[in-house]
Amino acid sequence: MGIKIVMVLAIVALVSATMPMMTESALRCGQVTISLGPCLNYLKSGGAPENKCCFGIKRLVGMAHTTPDRKFICNCLKAVATEIRGINLNFASSLPSKCGVNIPYKISPSTSCNR
């Protein structure tokens, strides 16, 4: 469990440092990354996402009030999909539907966040 927490904190620091600041949004990539932390097992191994994971995804959807918010979250998810080794992109793409939410983009390094 301790290694998992250290890994999530390292990811938060990495993603926060590599993402440009977007003045239109009050969100931070760290918030996005922390919301995804409980999803790491699912993103790597598949199966059924844990309730904590789905709560985090639903929290992200709830934070996306405006188009700039949605674009910002999309860019953070894109960075996470790029930076975390071992993520299965098919599992990442199916995560929102497995949690019963709809987001307008796939969690993938190739996603265009400009729409």
Under 8 Å between Cβ of 56 and 37: yes
Instruction: Calculate the alpha carbon distances from 87 to 2, 27, 60 in Å.
Output: 20, 24, 19
Separation of alpha carbons 102 and 74, rounded Å: 13
CATH class of 23-99: mainly alpha
pLDDT at site 50:
95
pLDDT for the residue numbered 64: 87
Do the Cβ atoms of 77 and 52 come closer than 8 Å?
no
pTM comes to: 0.72
How many Cα atoms within 13 Å fall on the side-chain side of residue 69? 12
DSSP tag of 64: -
- Answer yes or no: are the C-beta atoms of 105 and 113 closer than 8 Å: yes
Give residue 11's pLDDT: 56
pLDDT at position 81:
86
pLDDT of residue 7: 56
Cβ-contact 89, 21 below 8 angstroms:
no
pLDDT at 12: 54
Domain boundaries, given as residue ranges, for the chain? 23-99
Q: Would you write out the chain's pLDDT as a tens digit for each of its 115 residues? A: 556 554 544 555 555 544 444 444 567 888 888 999 999 999 999 999 999 999 999 998 898 889 998 899 999 988 888 888 899 999 998 999 999 998 888 888 888 988 7
